[in-house]
Chain A
Amino acid sequence: DAKTTQPPSMDCAEGRAANLPCNHSTISGNEYVYWYRQIHSQGPQYIIHGLKNNETNEMASLIITEDRKSSTLILPHATLRDTAVYYCIVRVVGRDDKIIFGKGTRLHILP
């Protein structure tokens, strides 16, 4: 079973920041938080990952709470092309292992 909880769907206005929450209250100390997204008819796309510090790359920012029990993926200026299903995943550090996907959050960007 997936070890994360996400809202099934969210809306965001184009140009605004999209903040996608994820609960991972049972996360272990050796588990990273990963985010992937899947645009319609495409394979999942890696976005970002982190252990305990906040992370930022060209796609998004990842904010992890101090207790690591939840996180937020931030798309700073959402565009219509960001419409996708977003998956929050936890994975063990240093282990090359399968990804267990949950149902994710379906993000709709509204024009």
Chain B
Amino acid sequence: GAGVSQSPRYKVAKRGQDVALRCDPISGHVSLFWYQQALGQGPEFLTYFQNEAQLDKSGLPSDRFFAERPEGSVSTLKIQRTQQEDSAVYLCASSSRQGADGNQPQHFGDGTRLSIL
């Protein structure tokens, strides 16, 4: 399809394991965002890429969280030594280059639901 694709859809891991979550943005979209959504809450920003450059990682909760987008397209969010509090839905969004009329909307994937046992 033409939307943002995330995989896996569900991930179960034991505490202490490392996990990697993948995001395929809409083709040609320059900007890519990662958000974390706890149960019953709105999504919270984690990090932002413009092409391959990570311009904002202020939302990453700890140094166990790492994101990359080496070729400016697919992105991976990695969580090392997972903890139970990492259990959440991880959402990826992409948007095209800003136009003359202002902001472009972000288009979201359906997320990866991560459960840490």
Q: Would B103 and A96 count as touching, CB distance under 8 A? A: yes
- Tell yes or no: B24 within 8 A of A by CB: no
Task: Indicate the size class of the contact surface on chain B.
Answer: 20 to 34
Q: Would B41 and A103 count as touching, CB distance under 8 A? A: yes
- CB < 8 Å neighbour of A44 from B43, B56, B95, B98: B43
Q: Would B93 and A43 count as touching, CB distance under 8 A? A: yes
Which residues from A are CB-within-8-Å of B107? 46
Give bound CA distance, A100 to B107, whole Å. 15
Q: Closest residue of chain B to A46, judged by CB? A: B105
Q: Would A98 and B48 count as touching, CB distance under 8 A? A: yes
Give bound CA distance, A99 to B43, whole Å. 9
Give bound CA distance, A96 to B98, whole Å. 7
- Tell me the dominant secondary structure on chain A's binding face: loop
- Tell yes or no: B110 within 8 A of A by CB: yes
Q: Would B98 and A94 count as touching, CB distance under 8 A? A: yes
Q: In chain A between 84 and 111, which residues have their CB closer than 8 angstroms to a CB of chain B?
A: 85, 87, 91-104
Interface residues contributed by chain A, number (CB under 8 Å): 27
Which residues from A are CB-within-8-Å of B41? 103
Q: Would A42 and B44 count as touching, CB distance under 8 A? A: no
Chain A interface residues (CB < 8 Å from chain B): 2, 32, 34, 41-46, 49, 51, 85, 87, 91-104
Additional 18 contacts, C-beta under 8 A, given A98-B48, A101-B43: A43-B4, A43-B109, A43-B111, A93-B102, A95-B103, A96-B31, A96-B50, A96-B95, A96-B98, A96-B103, A96-B104, A98-B59, A99-B35, A99-B45, A101-B44, A102-B42, A103-B41, A104-B42
- Which 6 pairs of residues, A with B, have the shortest CB-CB distance? A43-B108, A101-B42, A98-B45, A46-B105, A93-B102, A44-B108
Chain B interface residues (CB < 8 Å from chain A): 4, 31, 33, 35, 41-45, 48, 50, 56, 59, 91, 93, 95, 98, 102-111
Could you show 6 A-B contacts with beta carbons less than 8 Å apart? A32-B103, A41-B110, A43-B110, A44-B91, A91-B103, A96-B103
